[in-house]
């Protein structure tokens, strides 16, 4: 591989890259450092589980190649975070929506929506069905264009990018779809190998080793020769995450990762997303209806309602809010998904 393995030893480190009070202020001037000081039990549990190095799940015969590969990804993501330009003399956001609106045939889905995601941060997008959660991700990926407003990725305004420019953005930013979006006609192993072969930087032997290690890392070891149609929904999402990691992205978007999966798989996916954030310094956006999942992962949340970003802040701030719309959403969630 291109880089010496000795340069990548920091990959296994579990040190926290905590944002300072100054960094906890978003580009629209809101200071949420006070709310961020309160950490829920779910977040504490997730942080504890995130300390287990990803490489510990990988077979010894492929571990050296996989460790170097993941080390490169971690270094790349740290460098990307440092490269994001400051905004108004404050640390810049890796992803931002600035007054974004989107309608379909006169039906307003998003109206003047603003939020941001700091480098290495996990943002959860919450809200009822049909409020534009997935639409927001599709606009970030360039599959849809906003009617107005600005969308930035890594400091660049991508709002009017054509397909050629968006292909460059998608090397930094990838998405894990609800259905996995795997290629049904090729095996799981070939799916994960696809972005590795596209880049052309590894030998075939190294590609096979990285594929094996990534599948072990996401909890679907030994499934290289299986077709996606033979997998459960949760396994498909795990394979989709492995394929996303093979592209060495700087940020991953997750669209309803726990929908139609059992509680154990949801727990495992949550652990994995948190470990990727802590150890690879990935920036993440998670669209979810699962409040326990959001509590476990979110540094901040944006709650969409009636086309607006009705709330943007920490989960603790949301739970303490007296806003009647937020209270109703939280109370309905407790009825549907009781904590037990």
**What are the pLDDT digits (tens) for 31-57?**
333 333 344 455 555 455 556 788 888
Q: Please, which pLDDT band fits residue 336 given cuts at 50, 70 and 90?
A: low
pLDDT by residue (tens digit) across 228-283?
Answer: 999 988 889 999 999 999 999 999 999 999 888 888 888 888 999 999 999 999 99
Q: What is the pLDDT of residue 265?
A: 84
Residue-averaged pLDDT of the chain: 84
Q: Please, which pLDDT band fits residue 130 given cuts at 50, 70 and 90?
A: confident
Q: What is the pLDDT of residue 277?
A: 92
Q: What is the CATH number of the domain that holds 137?
A: 3.40.50.300
Does 262 map to a domain?
Answer: yes
Phi-psi region of 290 (alpha: psi -120 to 50; beta: other; left: phi over 0): beta
**Is pLDDT above 90 for 13?**
no
d(CA 153, CA 172): 9
Q: What is the pLDDT of residue 150?
A: 97
What tokens does 232 get?
A: 């459960």
Q: What is the pLDDT of residue 166?
A: 96
pLDDT by residue (tens digit) across 304-313?
Answer: 999 999 999 9
Under DSSP, the state recorded for 31 is B
Phi-psi region of 132 (alpha: psi -120 to 50; beta: other; left: phi over 0): left
pLDDT by residue (tens digit) across 197-224?
Answer: 998 889 999 999 999 999 999 989 999 9
> What are phi and psi for residue 143, nearest 5 degrees?
-75, -25
Q: What is the pLDDT of residue 89?
A: 65
d(CA 88, CA 129): 35
Q: What is the pLDDT of residue 24?
A: 37
Q: What is the pLDDT of residue 266?
A: 86
Contact call for residues 278 and 54 (beta carbons, < 8 A): no
Does 1 map to a domain?
Answer: no
Instruction: State the total domains in the chain.
Output: 1
Does 324 map to a domain?
Answer: yes
Spatial strand order in the sheet of 156-157: 107-117, 95-104, 148-153, 156-157
Average of per-residue pLDDT across 123-135: 92
Average of per-residue pLDDT across 59-87: 91
Its pTM surpasses 0.85: no
pLDDT by residue (tens digit) across 153-196?
Answer: 998 999 999 999 999 999 999 999 887 789 999 999 999 999 99
Does 6 map to a domain?
Answer: no
d(CA 133, CA 121): 18
Does 13 map to a domain?
Answer: no
Does 11 map to a domain?
Answer: no
Element (H, E) at 9: none
Does 266 map to a domain?
Answer: yes
Does 5 map to a domain?
Answer: no
Residue 258's domain comprises 26-336
Percent of the chain whose predicted confidence (pLDDT) is above 70: 82
């Amino acid at each position: 591989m291109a880089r010496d393995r000795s340069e990548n030893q920091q990959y296994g480190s579990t040190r926290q890259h905590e944002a300072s009070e100054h960094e906890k202020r978003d580009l629209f001037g809101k200071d949420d450092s006070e709310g961020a000081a309160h950490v829920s039990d779910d977040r504490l549990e997730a942080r504890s589980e995130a300390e287990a190095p990803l490489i510990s799940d990988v077979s010894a015969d492929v571990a050296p190649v996989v460790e170097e590969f993941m080390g490169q990804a971690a270094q790349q993501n740290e460098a990307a975070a440092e490269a994001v330009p400051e905004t108004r003399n404050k640390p810049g956001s890796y992803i931002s929506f600035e007054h974004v609106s989107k309608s379909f045939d006169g039906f307003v889905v998003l109206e003047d929506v603003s939020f941001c995601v700091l480098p290495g941060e996990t943002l959860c997008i919450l809200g009822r069905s049909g409020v534009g959660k997935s639409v927001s991700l599709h606009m970030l990926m360039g599959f849809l264009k906003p009617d107005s407003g600005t969308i930035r990725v890594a400091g660049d305004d991508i709002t009017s990018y054509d397909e050629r420019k968006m292909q460059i953005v998608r090397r930094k930013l990838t998405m894990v779809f609800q259905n996995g979006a795997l290629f049904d006609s090729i095996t799981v192993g070939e799916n994960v190998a696809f972005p590795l072969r596209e880049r052309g930087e590894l030998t075939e032997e190294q590609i096979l080793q990285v594929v094996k290690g990534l599948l072990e890392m996401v909890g679907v070891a030994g499934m290289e020769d299986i077709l996606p149609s033979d997998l459960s929904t949760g396994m498909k999402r795990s394979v989709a995450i492995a394929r996303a990691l093979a592209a060495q992205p700087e940020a991953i978007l997750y669209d309803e990762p726990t929908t139609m999966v059992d509680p154990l798989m949801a727990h495992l996916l949550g652990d994995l997303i948190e470990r990727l954030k802590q150890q690879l310094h990935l920036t993440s956006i998670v669209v979810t209806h699962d409040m326990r999942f959001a509590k476990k992962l979110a540094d901040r949340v944006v709650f969409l309602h009636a086309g607006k970003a009705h709330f943007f802040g920490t989960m603790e701030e949301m739970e303490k809010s007296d806003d009647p719309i937020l209270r109703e959403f939280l109370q309905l969630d407790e009825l549907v998904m009781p904590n037990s």
